[in-house]
Amino acid sequence: MSDLDGLTGIANRRKLDRFLGNAWLTAAEEGTPISVILFDVDYFKPYNDTCGHQGGDEILKNIALAAAGLLQNTPHLIARYGGEEFAAVLAGAKQAEALAIAERLRRSVETLNMPHATSPIADHVTVSLGCATVIPQPGMTDKHLIDWADKALYRAKAEGRNRTVCHLPQDAPDKQGGC
């Protein structure tokens, strides 16, 4: 089975899950941080409705190429998470590094300057990002980390989109995590 997404050419969900699981185990054994960034295209459905699915596919390919270029020659992984959503697993990355990478991802999409006539926030394609960083503790799993990054992504969208929001420790019932 392939580990690459057929459309974008970057890692697919299967490879992401395997990479995250291995990185989680390593972080737990070594007591080191692990970060996840989830991001997706702002107002992607209106884009597809206006420009067609082929236009949407081109957007996804361009974003994947830009993101892969940013993480090239690093121990990190960029993958297509599903639909218009992407994920980055940053093995060994502390919260400041995760935030810096997330912001570089956001800015790299903006600099592509891909027109988006139906976006209410910009005349070009933008992305919203959520990140979370933890040092694995007993009782935690990599699913918690994904969930925290997902909650941060939803906050980024609720706060206006085209931004990065990091998971805050008080967001988790067990007070773990943060960015």
* Amino acid 179: pLDDT: 42
Give Cα separations from 23 to 36, 38, 80 (angstroms).
Answer: 11, 16, 18
Spans in the chain with pLDDT lower than 50: 171-179
pLDDT digits (tens, 9 = 90+) for 122-172: 999 999 999 999 999 999 999 999 999 999 999 999 999 999 999 976 544
**Active site residues per annotation:** 84
* Amino acid 1: pLDDT: 60
Residues in the chain: 179
Q: Report the predicted TM-score, pTM, of the whole model to 2 decimal places.
A: 0.93
Query: What CATH class has 13-171?
Result: alpha beta
Helix (H/G/I), strand (E/B), else coil: 103: helix
Domain boundaries, the chain: 13-171
